[in-house]
Amino acid sequence: MSSKQQHTLKNAINCSGVGLHSGAKVTMCLRPAPVDTGVVFHRTDIGAAAVLSGNPDAAPALDTDIPARWDTVSDTVMSTTIQNDAGVKVATVEHLMAALAGCGVDNVRVELDGPEVPVMDGSSAPFVFLIECAGLAEQQAPRRSIRVLRRVEIDDGDRRAALLPSNGFSVSLEIDFDSPAISRQSGFFDLHNGGFKRDICRARTFGFENDVNRLKDLGLGQGGSLDNVVVVGRDDEIMNDGGLRYGDEFVRHKVLDCVGDFYLAGGPLLAHFAGQRTGHTSNNELLVKLFSDPANWEYCYDQAQPTDGPINVWSQPLSAAQVSGSNPVIAQTA
């Protein structure tokens, strides 16, 4: 199959799980979609609820399709939520979006009978497995990329992020937590030619034992457990059986989030992303700024190419720990 062409799934495929933040049980079905559909989420439970409530006329009146795009993002607290004009939402889309990006899926219909994408094991690996089981089908239309033409940057003092012109998609990221279990981690990852599956997709979301009660009081993390979250304990130990999947799993999961959030551009980005202490909010803010000026970007039909390696985006390096993402363990500095 050619990466020059658009792709959808060969077959529909289902999975079930719980929402990380809602705690709701959810069944999800990934279905093939026509050329130029993009990624569209569809809530099957809302129309059904109208019928069960005795008001079937309300079911067709409410639009339950939600295009997965930067301009439908409605919330970025602890995850990325998208919402359509009718107020219908789907939360925590980023891990699935990352898998779709990493597998080269352009067009897909994502049906959900609940308010949130199931968290599965907290990574993108289960979604990659589903996509590979369903198979990819080449479509008779060229794949359109979004080329970044000039540097676009946000900087609020505590965090900074930039998109720079590139012939492929790569990420330089630094995270810094006040926890010896994480500390400062940074790395460069080229997502070309299988880099996402090889280096990123198994990295799980993470949290802190000290934050559990606070998050639950805010209505977040209701479905979180050691089965789907890497938990750092009060004594800075990893509480999960088996420990970490990578020595730097924390920064790799943040890269996974970036891959998912930036696929909300509406297609593959030809850009290098660099971030320091960034998250879902800054990822979306950067896309909003990118698309605010037509001089920042253009559509093209070029294939992504391998990138040249880490670059010094800022006036000083991200950190001394910055190395190639092909290394299974990235050094951490205090």
Domains of the chain, first to last = 5-142 (3.30.230.20), 145-300 (3.30.1700.10)
Whole-number pLDDT of residue 157: 84
**Does 253 participate in catalysis according to the annotation?**
no
pLDDT at 334: 23
| pLDDT score of 156 | 87
Q: What are phi and psi for residue 322, nearest 5 degrees? A: -70, 120
CA angle, corner 67, sides to 121 and 169, nearest 5? 65
Q: Six-digit token pair at 105? A: 């899926």
- pLDDT tens digit string along 211-265? 888 888 888 889 999 999 999 999 999 999 999 999 999 999 999 999 999 999 9
Return the closest-CA partner of residue 22 out of 43, 6, 5, 52. 43
Q: Are 13 and 130 in contact (CB under 8 A)?
A: yes
Q: Give the span between the Cα atoms of 26 and 22, in whole angstroms.
A: 10
Q: Evaluate whether 70 touches 291 at the Cβ level (below 8 Å).
A: yes
Q: For each of the chain's 334 residues, which pLDDT tens digit applies?
A: 357 999 999 999 999 999 999 999 999 999 999 999 999 999 999 965 544 455 555 545 578 999 999 999 999 999 999 999 999 999 999 999 999 999 999 999 999 999 999 999 999 999 999 999 999 999 999 999 999 999 999 998 889 999 999 999 999 999 999 899 999 999 999 988 899 999 999 999 999 999 888 888 888 889 999 999 999 999 999 999 999 999 999 999 999 999 999 999 999 999 999 999 999 999 999 999 999 999 999 999 988 888 777 667 776 544 433 333 333 332 222 2
**Which two three-digit tokens encode residue 166?**
């590139």
Specify the pLDDT at position 326.
34
Phi first, then psi: what are they for 204, rounded to 5°?
-95, 155
User: Backbone phi, then psi, for 252, in 5-degree steps?
Assistant: -65, -35
Which pLDDT does position 328 carry in this prediction?
31
Give the pLDDT of residue 310.
Answer: 67
pLDDT digits (tens, 9 = 90+) for 267-279: 999 999 999 999 9
pLDDT for position 217: 83
pTM over 0.85: yes
Of 21, 42, 253, 280, which is the active-site residue? 280
Q: For residue 98, how far is the Cα from the chain centroid?
A: 4
